[in-house]
Chain A
């Protein structure tokens, strides 16, 4: 299926989300644009402070205000700009058309209500069904996410669940209304590898069963992206640096940052290197971003103009975008 046959589910256009911190403005998300098609898993990778989580919260319009605000941009979901909606209309979208799961399964559930209550609550709010129907649906969802004895476990409180089970409950909650888009914000970061494998597998499996939601997977782990995503966007310094099909990205990363990131990962499957390749320097502070390319200071191939002028996000080859002055698409990408 070529990508033009597919419908755009979510289109981000030049999204800017700023935070006012002690009289200064932190441009956490600074002009982010990308599209998510129906029925795809889209990865958004970046290091801490790159703005990936803020991007996802902006889509849900869950930016805490103050200090944060969505400055400008468009978030088109099925053609409708979410930023134009009233709060009441937005609420109909949240949990129903777009739902979200969070990083910390320990704190993301309300400790004083039962799992069942929290599951039913969303179901009843959106579908206006009876309590018994909601209960049945909740049981069904818990069963689907692989929690044994779901009807009894509905009566449990979150603290009686382990971390992995809580994340399962969160997934059940998020998918109970068969949303078009599931945003998963670092869903496995707090979990162990074996549990991470379970949860990732579950997410993909359950969305197929509930109605083929697209998934926006936010993570810092390139390996997770490689295993689960169809397409990926790499963020750095509040901006998208590269968008690509996953396979292409891992085969020939274009942006120097992506290249550096990939080569700095230890690869047990490859011949052992004595030393890892590194990206020198430190991640720039969100409070004081350089004017030019955000990566220029750490970039091995930076030229003087990189520090001065911000490069545009250009389509290098069809479907591949890169924000770099020095990538021309004719083999500019260095295969590693």
Chain B
């Protein structure tokens, strides 16, 4: 089993390099790179955008282009540039030091000129905040609901709640958040209860400094409510049905009959024997949930205007901010890979039968 995990962990760098190289390659090959960006910026400043065709090279001096190329490693071959970015080849600009992802140097953002790593680490906790609350809220809803549905299979309650669950499945989380905002953040039906997006109110930091803790918490919860429902909507149908079907399967298992034959009461058989087994697939979902957390965050953070990693990724793509794009990608890939391993660890933890080999 240990060798299995060692193998999995060894696969992380390989996977990581494959993916990042692929994206690096695509972005280097694509038109509209940083040079183009700089050129357009200069044109905007000079001619005010008046009739300047993008094709005219005259407006940027060759020396400047060369400098830019050098800065963005466009004068190197793609693999070489990639290795420099990764920190596995020396960077001339930094005195031939190795300085890249491996050393924790993600470069600087074009848009904000901050070090990428700082931008990401400042945004990351916000995504984690919503992701974790969302995930646990999903559990809180799905597990009891799934159990009740399984125990009342084919009853009115089951059929009725299935309708609701399927409706939840057919509406993506960000759309659900949008509906909620429409209903409860606008005057449409006269219930303007929640803010229209945002992570916190404007003056939150001031109020916090002033020690208005209650106000701050209230404000924070106020802003949290709608996005969290969006997060929950994103995964709750799958999880509820998984819980239900898994419990149903286990209730029909032979060992449940054995437990009854021992004379155990129904509650103990259902909630100890069957439930313990049917939680296994749910626990394993934690790794996937972490991956999904990020995918969902692109949409929800955009919808609810939450300045997390997802919105950062979105803005960086819109602004062609390559160092940030690559930085977010690195994070996304790492989160996903760690999530996969986490799933395996959880599985090994909850299921004594599992012996990876």
Contact residues of A with B, CB < 8 Å?
A: 60, 62, 64, 87-88, 91-96, 99-100, 102, 104, 107-113, 121-122, 125-126, 157, 159, 170, 173
Closest to B253 in A: A107
Given A108-B258, A109-B255, 20 other A-B contacts at CB below 8 A? Answer: A60-B260, A60-B261, A62-B257, A62-B260, A91-B265, A94-B262, A99-B261, A102-B257, A102-B258, A107-B255, A108-B254, A108-B255, A109-B258, A110-B255, A110-B259, A110-B273, A110-B276, A111-B351, A112-B353, A157-B352
Q: Are the CB atoms of A122 and B352 closer together than 8 Å?
A: no
| Pairs across A and B, CB under 8 Å, 6 listed | A64-B252, A93-B263, A104-B254, A113-B276, A125-B263, A125-B264
Q: Are the CB atoms of A122 and B264 closer together than 8 Å?
A: yes
Decide yes or no whether B277 CB sits under 8 A from chain A.
yes
Give A110 to B275 CA distance when docked, in angstroms: 11
Contacting residues, chain B, for A64 (C-beta < 8 A): 252
Q: Are the CB atoms of A94 and B261 closer together than 8 Å?
A: yes
Closest 5 pairs (CB-CB, A-B)? A95-B263, A94-B263, A122-B262, A107-B254, A95-B262
Contacting residues, chain B, for A112 (C-beta < 8 A): 276-277, 280, 350-353
Point out the residue from B252, B254, B273 that lies within 8 Å of A102, measured CB to CB.
Answer: B254
Q: Are the CB atoms of B263 and A122 closer together than 8 Å?
A: yes
Given contacts A111-B352, A112-B352, A159-B353, contact A121 B262 (CB under 8 A): yes
Q: Least Cβ distance of A39 to chain B in Å?
A: 22
Point out which of B252, B255, B262, B352 has the most chain A C-beta atoms below 10 A from its C-beta: B262
Contacting residues, chain A, for B276 (C-beta < 8 A): 110, 112-113
Contacting residues, chain A, for B59 (C-beta < 8 A): none
Decide yes or no whether B266 CB sits under 8 A from chain A.
yes
Give A206 to B24 CA distance when docked, in angstroms: 71
Give A262 to B100 CA distance when docked, in angstroms: 83
Give A238 to B262 CA distance when docked, in angstroms: 26
Given contacts A62-B261, A100-B261, A157-B352, contact A111 B255 (CB under 8 A): yes
Point out which of A88, A93, A94, A111 has the most chain B C-beta atoms below 10 A from its C-beta: A111
Q: Are the CB atoms of B352 and A108 closer together than 8 Å?
A: no
Within 8 A of A (CB), among B266-284: 266, 268, 273, 276-277, 280
Q: Are the CB atoms of A159 and B352 closer together than 8 Å?
A: yes
Point out which of B252, B263, B350 has the most chain A C-beta atoms below 10 A from its C-beta: B263
Contacting residues, chain B, for A60 (C-beta < 8 A): 260-261
Contacting residues, chain B, for A92 (C-beta < 8 A): 263
Point out the residue from A108, A125, A157 that lies within 8 Å of B257, measured CB to CB.
Answer: A108
Number of interface residues of B (CB under 8 A): 23
Given contacts A108-B258, A110-B277, A113-B276, contact A91 B263 (CB under 8 A): yes
Q: Least Cβ distance of A116 to chain B in Å?
A: 13
Give A131 to B44 CA distance when docked, in angstroms: 81
Contacting residues, chain A, for B254 (C-beta < 8 A): 102, 104, 107-108
Closest to A159 in B: B353
Closest to B265 in A: A91
Give A111 to B263 CA distance when docked, in angstroms: 19
Q: Are the CB atoms of A91 and B264 closer together than 8 Å?
A: yes
Give A159 to B355 CA distance when docked, in angstroms: 11
Give A95 to B351 CA distance when docked, in angstroms: 27
Give A111 to B253 CA distance when docked, in angstroms: 11
Closest to B153 in A: A66
Give A40 to B273 CA distance when docked, in angstroms: 34
Q: Least Cβ distance of B280 to chain A in Å?
A: 8
Q: Mark B127-151, 1 if CB is under 8 A from A, else 0.
A: 0000000000000000000000000
Q: Least Cβ distance of B176 to chain A in Å?
A: 35
Contacting residues, chain A, for B277 (C-beta < 8 A): 110-112
Give A170 to B273 CA distance when docked, in angstroms: 16
Within 8 A of A (CB), among B218-253: 252-253
Q: Least Cβ distance of B154 to chain A in Å?
A: 9
Q: Least Cβ distance of A279 to chain B in Å?
A: 31
Given contacts A92-B263, A93-B263, A121-B264, contact A110 B353 (CB under 8 A): no
Give A92 to B336 CA distance when docked, in angstroms: 51
Give A122 to B269 CA distance when docked, in angstroms: 11
Contacting residues, chain B, for A108 (C-beta < 8 A): 254-255, 257-258
Contacting residues, chain A, for B264 (C-beta < 8 A): 91, 95, 121-122, 125
Q: Are the CB atoms of A110 and B258 closer together than 8 Å?
A: yes
Q: Least Cβ distance of A97 to chain B in Å?
A: 9
Give A96 to B252 CA distance when docked, in angstroms: 23
Give A121 to B351 CA distance when docked, in angstroms: 20
Given contacts A104-B254, A111-B255, A111-B277, contact A99 B260 (CB under 8 A): no
Give A63 to B266 CA distance when docked, in angstroms: 14
Give A126 to B280 CA distance when docked, in angstroms: 29
Q: Are the CB atoms of B263 and A157 closer together than 8 Å?
A: no
Contacting residues, chain A, for B260 (C-beta < 8 A): 60, 62, 94
Contacting residues, chain B, for A87 (C-beta < 8 A): 266
Contacting residues, chain B, for A62 (C-beta < 8 A): 257, 260-261
Give A3 to B253 CA distance when docked, in angstroms: 40
Contacting residues, chain A, for B261 (C-beta < 8 A): 60, 62, 94-95, 99-100, 102
Give A223 to B36 CA distance when docked, in angstroms: 89
Contacting residues, chain B, for A125 (C-beta < 8 A): 262-264, 268
Q: Least Cβ distance of B75 to chain A in Å?
A: 60
Give A170 to B351 CA distance when docked, in angstroms: 21
Closest to A107 in B: B254
Q: Least Cβ distance of A107 to chain B in Å?
A: 4
Give A104 to B260 CA distance when docked, in angstroms: 16
Q: Least Cβ distance of B99 to chain A in Å?
A: 49
Give A240 to B276 CA distance when docked, in angstroms: 41
Within 8 A of A (CB), among B187-246: none
